[in-house]
Structure 1
Amino acid sequence: MITSLDHLVLTVADIDATIAFYTQALGMTHAPFTVADGSTRHALRFGESKINLHVSGAEFEPKAQNPTAGSADLCFLTDRPLADWQRHLAAHGTRIEEGPVPRSGATGPLISLYVRDPDGNLIEISAPLQP
């Protein structure tokens, strides 16, 4: 039985722009790592999960059948009020595309903001709604 998500892979056009966005605007940690062949790869860590980054056209094997920058739609949970996120994103020049709006999450109702990363991936920042 599947119990949780360990990591996912984002295919990106510009790895430096992606790292800057996810670390500065979303507060993730850049986590380079070395693989068996001695090469360095890049990941972003948050909570108990990570996002591995592949550069478009230079993806690592094995890979998705059709890796494409800008094709993801991701929802991240936060324990901070969305008003704090609105101020933080504005300070980083990140435009809020939509929200706050009510949504349905995996474990219950959410309130969400939507932004786009440098590749145009849709990023949802969500806080659980308290009953």
Structure 2
Amino acid sequence: MNIKRIDHIVLTVANLPRAIRFYREVFDMPIIKDKSTGEENCVRCGHQLIEFQLANTDRDLRPAKPVIGSADICIIAGDSMDQIINHLISYYIPILKGPLKRVGSEGEMTSIYINDYDNNLLEISSYK
């Protein structure tokens, strides 16, 4: 098997419109509509998608125990860390930790950590 990349991830959230609004407004991620239902349940993050589901969603395929706020993901920004921090401050989003030096899939990066409205941990990083 030759795995090329991750296509999408699914976050379990308490309020679908609120989650979509957070990722759209704070990160400027475009909203994607489900082609079969027309429902807005997804945002584009670079070449990947972040989908959202409610914990009590009755779907055929879902995790055994979907829990709100259990995700820990890293997103890469194209801005400087100072610009990222100032942007988050302008949205009144508290920075939990950082900036810190980390090693990611492409080498050394600088990261800060925040929570989204569902308490998913988001690491926002930039490479040199």
User: Given the two structures, how large is their TM-score scaled by the length of structure 2?
Assistant: 0.92
* Uncovered stretches (5+) of structure 2, i.e. residues with no partner: none
Alpha carbons of 1:73 and 1:41: their partners in 2 closer, same or farther (altered >3 Å)? same
Q: In the TM superposition, what whole-angstrom CA distance separates every residue of 1:89-108 from its partner, at most 9, and x where no partner exists?
A: 11111111111101111121
Question: Does residue 83 of structure 2 align to residue 122 of structure 1?
Answer: no
Quote the residue 1:64 is aligned against: 63
Contact residue 54 and residue 60 of structure 1 kept, 8 A: no
User: Given the two structures, how large is their TM-score scaled by the length of structure 1?
Assistant: 0.90
How far has the Cα of 1:60 moved from its partner? Answer: 2.8
Distance (whole Å) between structure 1 residues aligned to residue 60 and residue 119 of structure 2: 24
Code of the residue aligned with 1:21 in structure 2: it is: F
Distance (whole Å) between structure 1 residues aligned to residue 17 and residue 39 of structure 2: 14
Provide the aligned length of Structure 1 versus Structure 2: 127
Code of the residue aligned with 1:28 in structure 2: it is: M
Quote the residue 2:3 is aligned against: 2
Distance (whole Å) between structure 1 residues aligned to residue 81 and residue 58 of structure 2: 34
How far has the Cα of 1:82 moved from its partner? Answer: 1.0
Distance (whole Å) between structure 2 residues aligned to residue 42 and residue 67 of structure 1: 16
How far has the Cα of 1:39 moved from its partner? Answer: 6.0
Quote the residue 2:16 is aligned against: 15
Percent identity between the two aligned chains: 30
CA RMSD, 1 decimal? 1.4
